[in-house]
Amino acid sequence: MGAVRVLGVDPGLTRCGLGVVDGLPGRRLAVVAVGVATSPPDADIDQRLLRIERSVEEWLEEHAPDTVAIERVFANHQVSTVMGTAQVAGLAMVAAARRRIPVALHTPSEVKAAVTGNGRADKAQVQTMVTRLLRLDERPRPADAADALALAICHLWRPAGAVGAPQRPPSSLTAAQRAWAAAEQAARRRA
């Protein structure tokens, strides 16, 4: 079985993180590309969304991922931020669906658990582990880019039992994968 290519999308209206990673569960990972799609905060919302959508389309065309992993949007106190983030997540889902590329949504705690083994890790810990796991010389910047890579890693390393995950015996899971499974179970209970 060959490597699986995942495009991670950290949705955001000003900066949308994009990261492409090749790998298999429990195997070495390779970063293919990392960056951000941006839109000017002073532009009209329709033009901002159009600009981000075009970038996502270009990444899908250029990198031909097998799956797109997108951060699941949660409501917080900043309604305008959540709206823009949700709109960008929707654009990425539609762009993938147009190409019949499967989409997976992962919560922030699932991503943190998959990458660091701790569902409550801070951004610096996630960035450090992304850098190590992908054998990069320095942390991907800005943080949105590192988050996109973390989403791709999370999807590649999702444990057995997750929707669409390869089935493996529990003893073959890494500590991070076991933590991810626990975080996924907790998120389902809250839903």
pLDDT of residue 175: 61
Mean residue pLDDT across the chain: 86
Tens-digit pLDDT profile for residues 82-123: 888 999 999 999 999 999 999 999 999 999 999 999 889 999
Cα separation, 188 vs 51, in Å, equals 34
Res. 25 pLDDT band, cuts 50 70 90 = confident
Q: Annotated active-site positions, please?
A: 10, 71, 144
Global pTM reads: 0.82
Please give the pLDDT value at position 178. Answer: 60
* Apex 134 CA angle, 130 and 139, nearest 5: 50
4-24 tens-digit pLDDT: 999 999 999 999 999 999 998
- Summarize the annotated binding site for Mg(2+) as residue ranges: 10, 71, 144
Task: Let me know the angle formed at the C-alpha of 67 by 122 and 71, rounded to the nearest 5 degrees.
Answer: 30
Percentage of residues in the chain with pLDDT exceeding 70? Answer: 80
Q: For residue 157, what pLDDT is reported? A: 85
* Stretch 31-39: mean pLDDT: 97
Domain range enclosing 11 = 4-190
Residue 179 pLDDT: 63
Q: What is the pLDDT of residues 128-179, one digit of tens each?
A: 999 999 999 999 989 999 999 999 999 998 754 344 444 344 445 556 656 6
Domain of 157, CATH number, reads 3.30.420.10
**Structural domain total, the chain:** 1
For 33, residues 6+ apart whose C-beta sits below 8 A from its C-beta are 18, 19, 20, 59, 62, 63
Q: Residues annotated in the binding site, as ranges?
A: 10, 71, 144
Q: CA nearest 49: which of 96, 5, 16?
A: 16
The tens digit of pLDDT for each residue in 45-91 reads 999 999 999 999 999 999 999 999 999 987 665 677 788 899 999 99
